[in-house]
Structure 1
Amino acid sequence: MTKILSLVDTPKVGVKHLANYTFTFLASGFLLLASLQVKAQRGREHDDHDRQYNNRNDDRRDNQRDRDRGRGNDYDRGRRNDRVVVVDRSRPNWQYNNLPRRNTYINTVPTAAIAINFGGISFRYHNGIYYKPYNNTYVVTAPPMGIRVNTIPVGCRRIVIQNRDYYYYNGTYYQPYDNQYTTVAPPIGALVESIPSGYEKLQINGDTYYVVDGIQYRAVLNNGEIWYEVIKINY
C-alpha cells in the first residue's frame, strides 16, 4: 500500500537537505576564502621579496656609483698632484728671483729680522737676506765675510769641495763654525743652480759671464741642465 506523505512531513525533509546544502556552501566558501588569503599572503611575501631584491640591487648600484665617484675623485686628486711645474731656468737668477735684489733700498725690515753687530755695523738678518743700515733706511747687501748666524735658511744647498762642506743660498756661502755658521768666500769650481738677482752680464771673447757680489760665474752644463760655476773672486 502506498504511503502518502503528509504536508507536515514534507517540510521536515526539505529543511534537512537545505541545511546540508547550506553547510556545504558555507564550508566551500570558507575554504575558498582561506585559499584566497593564502594566495594573497604568498603574493605579499613575493612582493616583499621582490622589493628587498630590488632594494639590494639599488643599494649595490648606489654603492657602485659611490665607488666609481670615489675612484674618479682619487683620479682627479692624483691628476692634480701629478701636475708638472715648469721652471724657467733660462735666467741665471730663476731660483731667487722672488727675493729682494741686491742694492735695493727699503724703509723697514721684516719684524722677525734679527740684529747682528759686525765691524761696527748693526746688520739685520732674515731668512738668508742681509740688510745694512743707510741713513734712515736699509739696503739689501751681500754679507761681509766672517759674519755668523745661528741658522742658515731653508733651501741651502750643500756643496763639497776638496772634502770640505759648504752651504750655498742666494749668493752667500757658509761653513759650520762651532754651533753656528759663518760666511766664507766661495771655493773656485763650486757649482750652483742659480745666482742672486742684480748680477752683471759680461761678454768676453764670445763667452758669457755673470758677476755678482764680486764673484764671477760662467754657465756650464751639469747633467743636461744649466748651472753656474765659480771661476774667479774679485775681492
Structure 2
Amino acid sequence: MKRMRIFLVITAFLGAVITTQGQTRTVVRVYPKHGTIVKTIANPRVIVHKKTNYYYADGVWYKTHGKKYVVTAAPRGIKVRTLPRGSKVVYRNGRRLYQYRSVWYKRRGQHYVVVNI
C-alpha cells in the first residue's frame, strides 16, 4: 500500500512537470496608437533631434509629457544605431529600405535614418 502511494505521488509529480513544460507562451506586441500616454518605458534610448528629446524603445517613439510619455510619430531624419526586432527589408524604386510598422528607415553609414515614403 505504501509503495502504491509513492508510485501515485511520483506519477502525479511527473505528470505536472510534463504538462507545464509542454505549454508554450505567446507574447503579442501591439504598437500603441499615436497620442497614447504611458507612465514608464522599458530601457528607452534618449535621442536628441533638432533640440528635442525623443525616447526610443522597442521600435516605438515617445516624447515627454510632464512625468509621462506620449507616443509620437518617428521624426524624419532622426538616426538610430539598430533597427527594431521584426523590421523587414523592402526594395522601393531600386533603393533598399527597412520597414517596421509604418516607419521607414534607410541605412546611412553605421546608422539608420528615418525617411518618408
Which of residues 82, 87, 91 is equivalent to 1:156? Answer: 87
**Letter of the aligned partner of 1:99 in structure 2?**
Y
Q: Distance in 2 between matches of 1:99 and 1:146?
A: 21
Distance 2:82 2:99 in 1: 13
Q: Which amino acid aligns with 1:106?
A: V
TM-score normalised by length of structure 2? 0.72
Cα offset for 1:109?
1.6
Secondary structure in structure 2 of the residue aligned to 1:125: strand
Matched, 1:105 2:55: no
Q: Secondary structure at the match of 2:105?
A: strand
- Higher share of residues assigned strand: 2
Q: What SS is found at the alignment partner of 1:143?
A: coil
What amino acid does structure 1 have at the position aligned with 2:33?
R
Query: 1:97 & 1:113 partners in 2: Cα distance?
Result: 17
Count of equivalent residues: 92
- Alpha-carbon spacing, 1:97–1:113, altered in 2? closer, same or farther (3 Å): closer
Match of 1:145 among 76, 79, 84: 76
Deviations, residues 166-219 of structure 1 (Å, cap 9, x unaligned)? 111011000001100000001xxxxxxxxxxxxxxxxxxxxxxxxxxxxxxxxx
Displacement over 2 Å in runs of 4+: none
- TM-score (structure 1 length as normaliser): 0.37
SS of structure 1 residue aligned to 2:30:
coil
Q: Alpha-carbon deviations, 1:106-128, whole Å to 9, x = none?
A: 12221x11100111111111121
Structure 1 residue 103: deviation in Å?
A: 1.0
Aligned sequence identity (%): 29
Matches of 1:178 and 1:117, distance apart in 2:
19
Task: Tell me the SS of whatever aligns to 2:70.
Answer: strand
Within 2, Cα distance between the matches of 1:157 and 1:118?
24
Query: Contact between 1:109 and 1:131, CA under 8 Å: does it hold in 2?
Result: no
| Amino acid in the other structure paired with 2:94 | N
Unmatched 5+ stretches in structure 2 = 1-21, 23-27
Q: Max radius of gyration: which structure?
A: 1
| Alpha-carbon shift at residue 136 of structure 1 (Å) | 2.1
Over aligned residues, Cα RMSD in angstroms?
Answer: 1.9
Hey, what's the Cα distance between the residues in 2 that align with 1:181 and 1:105?
26
